[in-house]
Homo-oligomer: A and B are copies of this chain.
Amino acid sequence: MTVRVDLNISLDGFATTTDATPENPFGDDWGRLVAAYTATRTFRERVLHDTSGEGTTGVDDKYATAYFEGIGAEIMGAGMFGLHNFPDDPDWIGWWGEEPPFRVPVFVLTHTPRAPIEMANGTRFEFVNPSSPQEILARAQTAAGGKDVRIGGGPTVAREFLRAGLVDQLHVGITPIVLGSGIRLWDDLRGFEAGYRVTTETDPSGTIHVTYRR
């Protein structure tokens, strides 16, 4: 029953991109950042509902599969859910459509009250305004029923939980591109690696997988 973070970052440490527009809300850089992940068979099946069996099945896919295994609840920031992009749209249900890949309770951190969204596949988005990371983590752990809790992101939320010492396992997939701007995962985390064991592994795609485990 661990607390996990998984993020894709650039070689220069950015977990967000800055070229999004209202017409292109992911921007071109986001596609470059997550290209190896979105090419995996697991992503295609789980997120795109593509049952053709296509997609990569190497090291990147091993991590993509592990991403979804054993998670019983998720915590994510308002930005990851899309509330910064669509703050005034009461019908916004997140980026993932009617079948979000989570299939578990998802707690979305926001100061703005919003009605829960229940999906047919077991995903339930609940909008919460906790007083501390510890408070919402305890709630998510109860909801997870003995399974793991993921801090989904974005980087500001992930960093808050890392700084509070609440994360048992951090996995980053590093894409070897230099973005130059965005939100850096590593800011204010000097020395956070103390107390973790680290393993590193690469995929022929160029992605570098770094995992810190307590």
Q: Which residues of A contact B (CB under 8 A)?
A: 11-13, 174, 176-181, 184, 186-193, 198-202, 206-208, 210, 212
16 new A-B contacts at CB < 8 Å, known A174-B208, A178-B189, A201-B202:
A11-B210, A12-B13, A12-B189, A13-B13, A13-B186, A176-B210, A176-B212, A178-B190, A180-B186, A180-B189, A180-B190, A180-B191, A181-B190, A198-B206, A202-B202, A208-B210
* Bound form: Cα–Cα A135–B199 in Å: 43
* Bound form: Cα–Cα A210–B11 in Å: 10
* Bound form: Cα–Cα A206–B199 in Å: 6
Asked whether A202 and B208 contact (CB < 8 A) given A180-B188, A186-B11, A186-B12, the answer is yes
Using Cβ atoms and an 8 Å threshold, which residues of chain B touch A191?
177-178, 180
Using Cβ atoms and an 8 Å threshold, which residues of chain B touch A207?
200
A60 to chain B, nearest CB (A): 12
The answer to whether B201 touches A176, judged by C-beta atoms less than 8 angstroms apart, is no
Using Cβ atoms and an 8 Å threshold, which residues of chain B touch A193?
176-178
Pairs across A and B, CB under 8 Å, 18 listed: A11-B13, A11-B186, A12-B13, A12-B184, A12-B186, A13-B13, A176-B198, A178-B189, A178-B190, A178-B192, A178-B193, A180-B186, A180-B188, A180-B189, A180-B190, A180-B191, A181-B190, A200-B207
* Bound form: Cα–Cα A199–B13 in Å: 18
**Closest residue of chain B to A194, judged by CB?**
B177
Using Cβ atoms and an 8 Å threshold, which residues of chain B touch A212?
176
* Bound form: Cα–Cα A42–B160 in Å: 41
Picked from B176, B192, B198, B199, the residue with its CB within 8 Å of the CB of A200 is B176
* Bound form: Cα–Cα A40–B184 in Å: 32
**Closest residue of chain B to A200, judged by CB?**
B202
